[in-house]
Structure 1
Amino acid sequence: MAAVVAVAALGLFVSACATGGTGARDEGPAGHDPVVAGAATPSASPTKKEPTRQDVVNMVKDDPKVAKAVKDDLKPCVADEYPVDVSYGDVTGGTANDIVVNVMTCSDAVGLGSYVYRMENHKYENVFRAEEPPVYAEIDRGDLVVTQQMYEKGDPVSYPSSEEVITYRWTASHFAVVSSTRNVYSNAVGNGGKSAPAGN
């Protein structure tokens, strides 16, 4: 009889440990919560997942802030593969992961437009756009970094004259520029080795 009581007590102890013993794991790791429309707190429901690539494509197509020219070029390259790069991460400090989207051309992967979507009022809202190609945006240590290649007349697509790298940081309700770097490339490279003629 004593053995039965001991086993029963041990069972109750194990059961008590199994319920509520996960601690912080109940909330999930910070910065990796699944996106939930209507989440009131940073903790997210395990029944919802982040938007898929196709969801993001549809979101861009339905976005009135996206230029018509970008939407017209947003077509599958092969089968149902769209020319979009999608990144999920924290760049605005919201309650769900932000989505950074780059729309490109199929032929040479030139960036046509870059966008940031933030969860606001239970749905994703466009809070940033850059539509001067070639452009590309990415998340770097919590900041938004946008690279814009600059061309002069006669420059081939593969050899821009310069490149501007702008770093944005979210401040309260919008992105603000925190730094800007411009790299000017040699005109002797990429044009058959011919440099610009010297002035007379």
Structure 2
Amino acid sequence: MRGLTGTGTTRAAMTVTAVLAAAVLFVAGCGTGGTGTRDEGPAHADPVASPATPTSSPSRPPDRVDAVRLIKADPEVSTEVKRELEPCVADEYPVDVSYGSLTGGSVDDVVVNVLTCGDAVGVGSYVYRDQGGAYVNVFAAEEPPVYAEIDRGDLVVTKQVYDRGDPVSSPSGENVITYRWAAGRFAEKYRTHNDYGQVTGAQPAPAPAG
């Protein structure tokens, strides 16, 4: 009988001890900084997958283009423009080159402006589009003075206007034409005309009579 009683007493003592230990651990966990079980380690050990986000595929910039070779090899460029395309100093040619997305291709388009050496008048503006790894002429304007630029995905061409007697350095105004790529070609969307003000020889207005 003593053996049974001793066993029962031992089990009861062990149960009470376990309950007290659990209570102490719980109180200790709740009392460390008020953060509960977070003080025992990170709440999530496994990485959480972030929601998938859509990725866009913008056109990538092309490698540096040899604009002079491109212009001279282009049968769409007039003989007059090719004749103007000569070095101004050493091996520096009068060309402006810019890259940007105009036609929605996978590679940025190339805009080339050919200028004169002396007064930097634009004699030709061209747009080249990558097609199968080769650049194809998709736009040309050769009525000088002319200059083409990329503006927020549109092609903007500025043509200066001269009245009779205007020197090359002083045009009377300009036409600004905006083109947009549609159905495989550039179509005119907007056209504005700006007159340059004549600031020389202006006389002050007379004061009103009292």
TM-score (norm 1): 0.70
Q: Quote the offset at 1:115 in angstroms.
A: 0.2
The structure with the largest alpha-carbon Rg is 2
Q: Tell me the amino acid that sits aligned with residue 64 of structure 1.
A: P
Q: Give unmatched runs, 5+ long, in structure 2.
A: 1-51, 203-210
CA distance in 1: counterparts of 2:129 and 2:195, whole angstroms: 33
Contact 2:116 2:122 in 1 (8 A): yes
Equivalent residue for 1:123, pick from 112, 118, 134: 134
Q: Tell me the amino acid that sits aligned with residue 162 of structure 2.
A: Y
Partner of 2:80: helix, strand, or coil? helix
* Deviation readout 1:25-80 (Å, 9 max, x if unpaired): xx99733x243xxxxxxxxxxxxxx133xx11101001000010000010111111
The 5 Å alignment of 1:17-28 reads none
* Deviation readout 1:106-164 (Å, 9 max, x if unpaired): 11100000000001233100000000000000000000000000111100112111200
Q: Tell me the amino acid that sits aligned with residue 175 of structure 2.
A: E
Q: Tell me the amino acid that sits aligned with residue 102 of structure 1.
A: N
Contact 2:158 2:175 in 1 (8 A): yes
CA distance in 2: counterparts of 1:57 and 1:164, whole angstroms: 27
Partner of 1:85: helix, strand, or coil? strand
Equivalent residue for 1:98, pick from 109, 112, 116: 109
CA distance in 2: counterparts of 1:133 and 1:140, whole angstroms: 21
* Structure 2 residue aligned with 1:47: none
Equivalent residue for 2:153, pick from 142, 160, 173: 142
Higher RCO structure, 1 or 2 (CA under 8 Å, sep 6+): 1
Q: Tell me the amino acid that sits aligned with residue 193 of structure 1.
A: G
CA RMSD of aligned residues (A): 2.3
**Consecutive aligned runs of 4 or more in structure 1 exceeding 4 Å deviation:** none
CA distance in 1: counterparts of 2:112 and 2:201, whole angstroms: 36
| 1:30 is aligned to 2:58 | yes
* Structure 2 residue aligned with 1:6: none
* Structure 1 residue aligned with 2:78: 67
- Report the number of matched residues: 151
Partner of 2:186: helix, strand, or coil? strand
* Structure 2 residue aligned with 1:84: 95
Q: Give unmatched runs, 5+ long, in structure 1.
A: 1-22, 36-49, 195-200
* Structure 1 residue aligned with 2:32: none
* Structure 2 residue aligned with 1:45: none
* Residue identity (%): 60
Q: Tell me the amino acid that sits aligned with residue 64 of structure 2.
A: P
Partner of 1:58: helix, strand, or coil? helix
